[in-house]
Amino acid sequence: MFVNLRVMVVSKIDVVSYRRVERMNIPLELSLEQEFNLKLYREQIKGLSPEESQEFLLEVLRQLMVKDNMIKHFLKRN
């Protein structure tokens, strides 16, 4: 349903990673297409109940963790 939604979870590690990314001059802004998708997701989320919102958030966080694991795996291989 909302498979491509991305959520930033702030932690101490994220702040350190953010600072590293800043120093490497990696753009942190969203593309126009990403901004558009974010607006669509925002509208879709408005219709969810609190329980559905919590389930959705947990699934998004799980997917982000899987993504992190994949990135770490590919970085170790290179």
Local mean pLDDT, 10-residue blocks, the chain (78 residues): 46 58 72 94 90 91 93 88
Is residue 43 included in any domain, yes or no?
yes
Contact 64, 7 (CB under 8 A): yes
Domain region containing 71: 30-77
Residue 17 CA, chain-centre distance (Å), reads 14
Q: What pLDDT, on a 0 to 100 scale, did the predictor assign at position 9?
A: 46
Q: What pLDDT, on a 0 to 100 scale, did the predictor assign at position 77?
A: 86
Is residue 50 included in any domain, yes or no?
yes
Q: What pLDDT, on a 0 to 100 scale, did the predictor assign at position 58?
A: 93
Contacts of the segment 63-70: beta carbons below 8 A, 24+ positions apart = 63/3, 64/6, 64/7, 64/9
Q: What pLDDT, on a 0 to 100 scale, did the predictor assign at position 8?
A: 47
Is residue 11 included in any domain, yes or no?
no
Question: Domains in the chain: how many in total?
Answer: 1
Q: What pLDDT, on a 0 to 100 scale, did the predictor assign at position 6?
A: 47
Is residue 2 included in any domain, yes or no?
no
Per-residue DSSP letter, 10: -
Q: What pLDDT, on a 0 to 100 scale, did the predictor assign at position 41?
A: 86
